[in-house]
Amino acid sequence: MGAQRTLRMSGSVRRAMVAHALRVAPLECCGFLVGRDDDVFCSVEMENVEASPVGYRISEEEHLELRRMLRRATPPLVILGVYHSHPAGDAQPSATDIAQAHYPNWAHVIVGLGGRQPVVRAFELADGTSRSVVLR
């Protein structure tokens, strides 16, 4: 494999993801990371249609609508990844997270709420494997 990927995001984006995770706990939260190259400009909260404490799913319609909206931006923006929370666990991908990762170029950010403080970590999930991504 090549060099470890670095994803750049501001503290305000991280705080927004943590706030979303805390607000919907004990259910998992989910959303998209939007930006360009490996620069995350914002997180976009989505509804977890599973409404589950151990899984998430974003509706295909909302996903496609966000993609259409981003293509209209000037200059165009893209979905760089997805985030979700582990309300009672750590910020590590579960076997389900790895198995259900369908976009190998996306970063997968996990907000772990199972410890004393929320922890935010990022991964590349592809071909049944997990690889850490540096968050800056």
Q: What is the pTM of this model?
A: 0.94
The pLDDT value given to residue 63: 96
The answer to whether residue 1 is domain-embedded is no
How many other C-beta atoms can be found within 10 angstroms of the C-beta atom of residue 87? Answer: 20
Average pLDDT for the chain: 95
The mean pLDDT of 97-116, rounded to a whole number, is 94
Q: What's at 85, amino acid-wise?
A: S
The label of the residue with tokens 């760089």 reads 80
The confidence score (pLDDT) of residue 76 equals: 87
CATH of residue 98? 3.40.140.10
| Residues in the chain, total | 136
| pLDDT value at residue 104 | 87
pLDDT at position 52 over 70: yes
Is 45 among the domain residues?
yes
On whether the CB atoms of residues 21 and 87 are closer than 8 A, the answer is yes
Q: Is there a contact between 14 and 57 (Cβ–Cβ < 8 Å)?
A: no
Q: Which of 118, 125, 66, 63 is nearest to 87 (CA)?
A: 118
- Give the chain's domain count: 1
